[in-house]
Amino acid sequence: MGAVSKVSTTSATPTLETKLDNRVWVNTPEQIRFQYETIGGLKRAIALLLDFIFIWLIIGALWLVMWITLGLIMLLMAISMGQASSGILDALSGFGSGFFSLLFFSIWWFYGVIQEYRYRGRTWGKMCLGIRVLSLDGRSPTLAQCVWRNFLRLADALPLFPAIFLFPADFVDWASEADMQNRTVIQVGFAVGNFMPTFLVAIAAMMLTLRNQRIGDLFAGTMVVKSQNYGAPIVPVFHDVDLLYLATQIPRRFVPGRELVETLSLFVSRRQRFSHDRRREIAGRLAPLFISEFGLPETTDPDLVLGALYLRAVCDPGHLEKMFEDALRQRSLLMRGPHEST
């Protein structure tokens, strides 16, 4: 996760202690302390704009596929029947319009929900900017949190500005004529309607909160942080290739309790102070239980077992795999030597 240290609090409720240069410390229910860098409005606005572009690209591609499909169906019907009736053509056209409107609504409202839940707090726009959404306890957001923060973007968009003043007179006449033809605001375009969002509520909320939270974040209990800080512990043991490999072998179903995580955190934070034999002696009091439970070889180093358990408890699985690959690559380069690497 973020920068890690041991905490000595007795509360099981995640808390935020300090903020300095957009950096915050979060105390998790497992009594572990993480540091994150929260993200301000500019980078989040760019990510939102990129997401809007991705949404329109998806909608445009689906619109093209749908109308090509309907065109082929009409062509086949005309060939097979000799002449397709106007009623059938109208029915197909109406079905296509209704289906596309439903598809548009679903993509527009659920794009952020699905992506943030599927990609553990990221959307494509956030990936491009290197940011992500996290719960206040440092974990990936739940589905309910993703729904809250995305649907409350309407509140963050307030107040609305009369967009009609942004367009020339001839464009205004065209928009009015379109409305008279019973077109919806979605069909005409959001900015062509009566109002456009200013997001002043979101800006004010981020300025007044310690974690740069907008209204959706406050209700959902989330925050947006720099993605590089997630899963980057500062404990030197995390560069040990053997320990990282062992951590990847521990089943993902392993979910330690608060007391165990506190014990592991204390051991890992102090292990570098002891000799290897002393570490094995201390770890040997607890490690055999997990060696037996996970079916590890009996000769497995107890010191590595406790370190691996801690890694599995506090690290994102994907980042853990990446740390192992990076450490393995670095060891390979060191073993090759300077002459072979050149």
pLDDT tens digit string along 17-76? 444 467 776 665 544 556 678 898 899 999 999 999 999 899 888 888 888 887 787 777
Q: Is the torsion defined by CA of 286, 292, 297, 299 positive or negative?
A: positive
Percent of the chain with pLDDT over 70: 69
Selection from 169, 170, 167 nearest residue 193 by Cα: 167
List of residues 6+ apart from 215 with CB closer than 8 A: 152, 155, 156, 201, 202, 205
Q: What is the mean pLDDT of the chain?
A: 75
Q: How far apart are the first and last CA of the chain?
A: 35
Q: Are 238 and 323 in contact (CB under 8 A)?
A: yes
pTM: 0.56
Q: Could you tell me if 67 and 253 are in contact, meaning their C-beta atoms sit under 8 angstroms apart?
A: no
- CB–CB of 251/296 below 8 Å? no
C-beta of residue 121 within 8 angstroms of C-beta of residue 133: yes
- 80 or 192, higher pLDDT: 80
pLDDT for 82 beyond 80: no
pLDDT of residue 229: 42
Higher pLDDT, 270 or 298: 298
| Helices and strands of the chain, counted as H and E runs | 15, 8
pLDDT at 102 over 70: yes
Q: For residue 250, what pLDDT is reported? A: 84
**Range among 177-191, 262-276, 292-306 rated most confident:** 292-306
Residue-level pLDDT at 88: 63
Residue-level pLDDT at 232: 37
- Could you tell me if 201 and 156 are in contact, meaning their C-beta atoms sit under 8 angstroms apart? yes
Categorize the per-residue pLDDT at 176 as very low, low, confident or very high, splitting at 50, 70 and 90. low
User: What pLDDT, in 10s, does the model give residues 228-240?
Assistant: 543 334 344 456 7
Contacts of 223 (CB under 8 A, 6+ apart): 24, 36, 38, 133, 134, 136, 211, 212, 213, 217
Res 6: pLDDT: 39
| Model confidence at 16: pLDDT above 50 | no
Confidence of residue 103 (pLDDT cuts 50, 70, 90): confident
pLDDT, position 213? 93
% of residues, the chain, pLDDT over 90: 20
Question: Among candidates 26, 34, 27, 2, which has minimal Cα distance to 12?
Answer: 27
At residue 191, the pLDDT reads: 44
Give 21 or 183, the one with higher predicted confidence: 21
> Per-residue confidence at 260, pLDDT binned at 50, 70, 90?
confident
**For the packed helices 317-341 and 241-249, what is the interaxial angle rounded to 10 degrees?**
150
